[in-house]
A and B are shown apart, each in its own frame.
Chain A
Amino acid sequence: MSDVGKVRLRVPASIKAGDVIRVRCLVIHPMERIERDKAGKIIDKKYQYIDTVTVTYLGKTVATFDTTQSVSENPFFAFAVKATDPGKLTVAFHDTHGQKYEGSVDIAFS
């Protein structure tokens, strides 16, 4: 499980100023589901899953995902951003164990 926290980001190959681009991102994460014991009772523990995803572009928060355990393992997210200026786009993941994973990509115009 050494890959946990690996973030991959995809943006279109060619971006023009003012384009609304779709960004896809993926993070390797177990997203633990609720476990039950033999009697069907929920085991009470602190499940590790991503609860917040924050997208930052040019220093401003563009979108936030609040996620629950109903999101798949190794979650994939997509969102749109209006590419106004060249700069950095960062996607930060935060899970219930306080871990943070981050990935970023430079938006450049061609």
Chain B
Amino acid sequence: MAGWGRDGGVTRRTVIGALAVAGGAVTLRLPVPAVAAEVPLGQNEPLDAALKRVFGGRPMKDGAGMIKLDIPLIAENGAVVPVSVEVNAPMTPQSYVKSIYIVADKNRIPIVTRVSLTPASGQAYMGANIRLGETTDVRAIVEQSDGTLFALKREVKVTVGGCGG
């Protein structure tokens, strides 16, 4: 059942049916971003605010040796920058990589994407094409299923910015 609200397929029936339960839950949930998975991402904000909002100031360990962040050193066109992240970590139901975040420090919307994975992935890997507004550090932040955070960053030189605005 696609009753998760975010898919936009909320019918009147699901609204009425869930009003008593979910209505209360939604109003409660909004001001308390306790779980990262429920925090909205695409906001126009500086990096510090974004990291604080999404990760709540939790400490991040150095992910060198564990995270493989593949991104060009020089991106001629900031509108399309291929990035891929591979995490050297087991994907078992007991311990797996829950999410991979891509963060571009100087973008107006710093949090580019979040990938939520399940053990069925078999391997913690993601790739995407992202926009970079200017020369910036790009971070890969990995969240394990137990909540531990690992981060790795790399500078990318951008010749022509791709964020506009």
Partner of B118, one of A34, A52, A61, A98: A61
Indicate whether A77 sits within 8 Å of B128 (C-beta atoms), given known contacts A42-B44, A65-B113, A66-B41.
yes
A63 close to B121 (CB less than 8 A) = yes
- Determine the chain B residues whose CB is within 8 A of the CB of A4 once the complex forms: none
Indicate whether A78 sits within 8 Å of B127 (C-beta atoms), given known contacts A33-B164, A62-B121, A68-B109.
yes
B84 close to A70 (CB less than 8 A) = no
Chain A interface residue number, banded: 35 or more
List B residues 112-139 near A (Cβ within 8 Å).
112-118, 120-131
Question: Other CB < 8 Å A-B pairs besides A70-B113, A70-B131, A84-B120, 4 of them?
Answer: A51-B42, A63-B121, A79-B126, A94-B6
Residue-wise, chain A 59-74 has the 8 Å CB interface mask toward B (1 for contact) of 0111111111111111
In whole angstroms, how far apart are the Cα atoms of A74 and B130 in the complex?
Answer: 10
Tell me whether A9 is interfacial, beta carbon within 8 Å: no
Indicate whether A64 sits within 8 Å of B165 (C-beta atoms), given known contacts A24-B127, A98-B8.
no
Nearest B residue (CB) for A35: B165
The interface size of chain B toward A, counting residues with CB under 8 Å, comes to 40
In whole angstroms, how far apart are the Cα atoms of A22 and B123 in the complex?
Answer: 9
B107 close to A63 (CB less than 8 A) = no
| B interface, CB within 8 angstroms of A | 6-8, 41-42, 44, 79-82, 84, 104, 107-118, 120-131, 162-165
B129 close to A76 (CB less than 8 A) = yes
Tell me whether A105 is interfacial, beta carbon within 8 Å: no
Partner of B107, one of A49, A70, A79, A94: A70
Partner of A52, one of B6, B129, B165: B6
| A interface, CB within 8 angstroms of B | 20, 22, 24, 33-36, 42, 49, 51-52, 57, 60-82, 84, 94, 98, 100
A72 close to B79 (CB less than 8 A) = yes
A20 close to B123 (CB less than 8 A) = yes
Most-contacted residue by chain B among A33, A60, A72, A73 (CB, 10 A): A72
Most-contacted residue by chain B among A61, A66, A67, A84 (CB, 10 A): A66
Partner of B127, one of A60, A67, A77, A84: A77
B121 close to A42 (CB less than 8 A) = no
Nearest A residue (CB) for B125: A80
Indicate whether A78 sits within 8 Å of B84 (C-beta atoms), given known contacts A68-B41, A71-B112.
yes
- Determine the chain B residues whose CB is within 8 A of the CB of A35 once the complex forms: 164-165
- Determine the chain B residues whose CB is within 8 A of the CB of A79 once the complex forms: 115, 117, 121, 125-127
